[in-house]
Structure formats: C-alpha cells, structure tokens
Amino acid sequence: MKRVFNFSAGPSMLPLEVLEKAGVEIMDADDTGQSVMEMSHRSKDYKPIIERTESLLRELMDIPMNYRVLFLQGGASLQFAMVPLNLAGVEQGVPRKKADYVDTGIWADKAIKEAEKYIDVDVVASSRNKGYVYIPDAPPPQKNVAFYHITLNNTIIGTKWSKLPETESSPLVADASSCILSEPLDVSRFGVIYAGAQKNLGPAGTTVVIIREDLIGNVPSWVPTMLRYDVHVKDGSMYNTPPCYGIYIIGLVLEWVKEQGGVEVMAQRNREKATLFYDYLDNSKVFLSPIEKPFRSLMNIPFLMGVPFVYHSSDEKSSLEKRFVQEAATEGLVNLAGHRLVGGMRASIYNAMPIEGVKALIGFMERFEKNIRN
Ligand SMILES: *Cc1c(COP(=O)(O)O)cnc(C)c1O
C-alpha cells in the first residue's frame, strides 16, 4: 500500500486510523453481521452510531445544552439558503428581517448571493478591495437584523477570523466548513455554526449544523420541508434517510480527535504545522504567502511564485507552477494546485495532515527552489 500526502482543500485526507477501523468494519460492524452502509437508519444497530457521533461532537466542541446538532445533506452550499430561510422570521408569508453579511472571499460571496434571493442583505464589510488577503474590521450589527453572517475560515484565499465580531443580541452565524475542530470555538457566541464534513470531519455528503434552540421554527410555510431546521430537529436528523455512512465515519474521526487529546491538541499541532510552513514561505526567495500575517489560515495556505527573475512572462510563471504541481505529485505530495478561480498553489493542512507531510512538502520546495535558480 502506498499512501500520499493529500493537500486537497476537500474532500481531504482522513486519519489513517479511521480508514483502518472503517476497513475492519466494512463487512461486519460491531458484530451486527452487516456493514454500516447496509443498516436501516431506524434500526437498533444504527441508532447508537448517530447518537455516539452527536455526543462526541458535543463533548469535543463543548456544545451547550440549548443547542441542537443536525446531520444534513446538501453541503455547506445548501446552508447558504437554509440560514436565511429559517432565521429571517416571517411576516405575511415572506421572510421578514434583513441580515448583515461580511464578505471575506468566494464562499462568503456565494452565501451573500444566495441569501439575497430570499431576504435583504447588507454587506457590512468586505476585503474584496485587496483581493481578500485580510479580514476587514467588522462593524457592530445594524438595528434589528435577523443574524450576522461570517465565513470563519476562507478556504480558497487562506484567511481566518482570529477575533470574532461582537454582534450583541444578533445571532452570529458562521460557515465553519474548513476550520471546525481545528481550534477551540466558544459555541455560545454563535446562533448557528454549519460545516460541510469533507474538510475536517469526514467524507463528503454530510453537513453538520449546530443551532441555538430559540432560533428554530419561525419559518414561512412555503419553505420546502427538507429545508426547515424545525423538521430536522423534531425528527433527530431522520425526517428522511440521513447520510448514514458519512455520519458513522464522522463518528470515527471524532473518536480519533478525542484519542489524540481533543481540539486543544489539534490546535497546537495545527499551529505548529502552519508556523513551520509560513516561516518557510516568508524566508523563501521563490515562494511567498500573499496573505497578511494577522489573518493567515491554519488550514489552507495558498502560495505563489513571487520572484521576477525566475520567470519573465505570466506564461512562463504558470508553466513553472504547473511543473511544481506535477513534480510534487510524483513525490507523493498531491493536490497542490490553487483553487481554479485564484490560481497559484495551495496546501490544505487539516487535522488529519501529519507534520511529516508539511516537512516533506517543505523539503520538496527547497529542492525545487535550488533547481530553478541554478
Ligand atoms: C467547501 C466550502 C463550502 C462548500 O461546501 P459544499 O459542502 O461543497 O457545499 C462552503 N464554504 C466553505 C468555507 C468551504 O470551505
């Protein structure tokens, strides 16, 4: 067996221990004589699986009792619609209130564009003017807004909020798809936290939603059943068939996080990995990080080739970047191309990426540098 270091932004690496356990249980989980994939979601065999996944998430994230946890489908992208549809209240059949959004990148912008279909959105701050390389100062919420939306970690551009905005009584809603469980988070500061699983939690197909109870239920009647938080809460994420196998794998990932020492240990390791890589980039004569220092993501690290004497035209630069990505792949360092909308390179180093992967990447980059400068 040959495993690569996978730097994909998502779906991304899973801990080897998780894959091994899933492999052992693939045909007979817990002496049931079945794979988890074959179980009825309403069976006595499956019930403990979803319950354990939820209770591990509650324990690891220290989720207060007045929050509900949902395992849904549709990805973070569906939450871009569900959040405004469920949180804006209702008056004469339509969502009532406005919401504040902070625009910190491509995902934030998608969330804004989707919300605008249903409610009035005010973009109260944006870092678009400088290509999103920083997190803007967040103003306090405007009067009487239904919620205040941020993208906690900006997967494509590589920034993160290090200090949460003060939103007073307006519920803070966060897209935490690419940073959930990477560092401790004070859940009580939020109204809703949502995350697609395929970055830091498990396989694609499951979306975790953590929602404060008082925000559930005031929804226009025409909102499709599957898009209502109250329906999913009432049925314990089993209004219809949930993504059973994905929830099971998330449970194994959470068990792994717990065995490693919990979210604080993840955060220490993530800081160590990211510091190593940023220090390398900041001292490199060829590669650089375009992101302003206070806002650099621990999870997604885009980098560029920034030295003009290395190349003379943008064609030459992009061919050098292609060569970089290809040569890295031959050494088992895969998926290092930047997002198709921004180009360059990007190393995503989620919880499951061991520090050895980061060291191997730096080693490769040092050799690549020497090579092209000779
Ligand atoms: C990946 C990602 C999304 C999109 O997630 P899907 O599950 O593919 O819909 C949204 N927001 C952020 C921050 C992401 O990283």
Give the nearest ligand 1 atom to 175 CA.
13
Is there a single domain that holds both residue 322 and residue 219? no
pLDDT exceeds 70 at position 307: no
Q: Looking at 235, 260, 285, which one is the last position of a domain?
A: 260
Residue 177 CA, ligand 1 centroid: distance in Å: 6
Instruction: Please give the number of the atom of ligand 1 that sits closest to the Cα of 152.
Output: 13
Which residue, judged by its Cα, is nearest atom 8 of ligand 1? 75
Kindly tell me if the per-residue pLDDT of 311 is higher than 70: no
Distance of CA 9 from the midpoint of ligand 1 (Å): 10
pLDDT at 268 over 80: yes
CB 338 within 8 A of CB 324: no
Q: Is the CB of 77 under 6 A from ligand 1?
A: yes
Please state the atom number of ligand 1 nearest to the C-alpha of residue 197: 7
Question: Where do we find the tokens 């941020």?
Answer: 150
Same domain, 223 and 235: yes
Q: What angle do CA 23, 43, 57 make, to 5 degrees?
A: 60
Indicate whether 187 belongs to any domain.
yes
Domain end among 244, 260, 276: 260
296: confidence class by pLDDT, cuts 50, 70, 90: very high
Nearest to 128 by CA among 109, 152, 101: 109
Atom of ligand 1 nearest to the CA of 10: 1
Instruction: Give how far Cα 366 sits from Cα of 78, 160, 286, 290, 305, Å.
Output: 41, 27, 9, 19, 13
- Ligand 1 and 196: CB distance under 6 A: yes
Mark whether 237 and 107 lie in a shared domain. yes
The DSSP symbol for 237 reads T
Q: CATH number of the domain that 228 lies in?
A: 3.40.640.10
Q: Is 151 in the pocket of ligand 1 (CB under 6 A)?
A: yes
With respect to residue 2, please indicate whether it lies within any of the assigned structural domains.
no
Q: How many domains does the chain have?
A: 2
Do 302 and 327 fall within a single domain?
A: yes
Query: 233 and 100, same structural domain?
Result: yes
User: Is there a single domain that holds both residue 25 and residue 122?
Assistant: yes
The residue among 162, 195, 175, 170 whose CA lies nearest residue 109 is 175
Mean pLDDT calculated for residue range 338-348: 91
Q: Which of the residues 161, 175, 256, 273 is marked catalytic?
A: 175
From 177, 199, 250, mutation site for ligand 1 pocket: most ligand atoms within 8 A of C-beta: 177
Supply the CATH number for residue 289's domain. Answer: 3.90.1150.10
Contact 63, 69 (CB under 8 A): yes
In this predicted structure, what is the pLDDT of residue 96? 87
- Residue 312: the pLDDT is 57
What per-residue confidence (pLDDT) applies to 203?
98
197 and 334 belong to one structural domain:
no
Q: Is residue 350 predicted with pLDDT exceeding 90?
A: yes
Residue 203: inside a domain: yes
203 lines ligand 1 (CB under 6 A): no
* Higher-scoring residue by pLDDT: 107, 316: 107
pLDDT at 93 over 90: no
Residue 6 within any structural domain of the chain: no
Q: What is the mean pLDDT of residues 13-39?
A: 97
% helix / strand / coil in the chain, to the nearest 5? 40, 15, 45
Best residue among 155, 161, 199 to mutate for probing ligand 1's pocket (most ligand atoms within 8 Å of CB) is 155
Domain boundary among 203, 230, 260: 260
Of 12, 72, 77, best ligand 1 pocket probe by most atoms within 8 Å of the beta carbon: 77
Residue 76 to residue 153: CA distance in whole angstroms? 13
CA of 255 to the centre of ligand 1 (A): 23
Whether 46 maps to a domain, the answer reads: yes
Q: Is 199 known to be catalytic? A: yes
In this structure, the answer to whether residues 248 and 285 fall within a common structural domain is no
Do 225 and 275 lie in one domain? The reply is no
Q: Based on the domain organization, do 127 and 37 belong to the same domain?
A: yes
Q: What are the pLDDT digits (tens) for 190-241?
A: 999 999 999 999 999 999 999 999 999 999 999 999 999 999 999 999 999 9
Q: Global pTM?
A: 0.97
Confidence of residue 356 (pLDDT cuts 50, 70, 90): very high
How many whole angstroms from 201 Cα to the centroid of ligand 1?
13
Does residue 7 lie in a domain region? no
Residue 264: pLDDT over 90? yes
Are 137 and 196 within one domain? yes
Report yes or no on 8 lying in a domain: no
Report how far residue 117's alpha carbon sits from residue 325's, in angstroms, rounded to the nearest whole number. 39
For residue 316, what pLDDT band results from cuts at 50, 70 and 90? Answer: confident
Which is higher by pLDDT, 342 or 12? 12
Domain extent for 119: 16-260
Residue 107 bears catalytic tag: yes
In a domain, 364, yes or no: yes
The mean pLDDT value for 9-37 works out to 97
- Work out the mean pLDDT of the chain and round it to a whole number: 95
Q: Tokens representing 321?
A: 């970047």
Residues contacting residue 47 through CB under 8 Å, at least 6 positions apart: none
What is the sign of the dihedral through the CA atoms of 129, 132, 137 and 140? Answer: positive
Task: Tell whether 106 and 246 lie within a shared domain.
Answer: yes
Please tell me the distance from the alpha carbon of residue 212 to that of residue 171, in angstroms, as a whole number.
Answer: 9
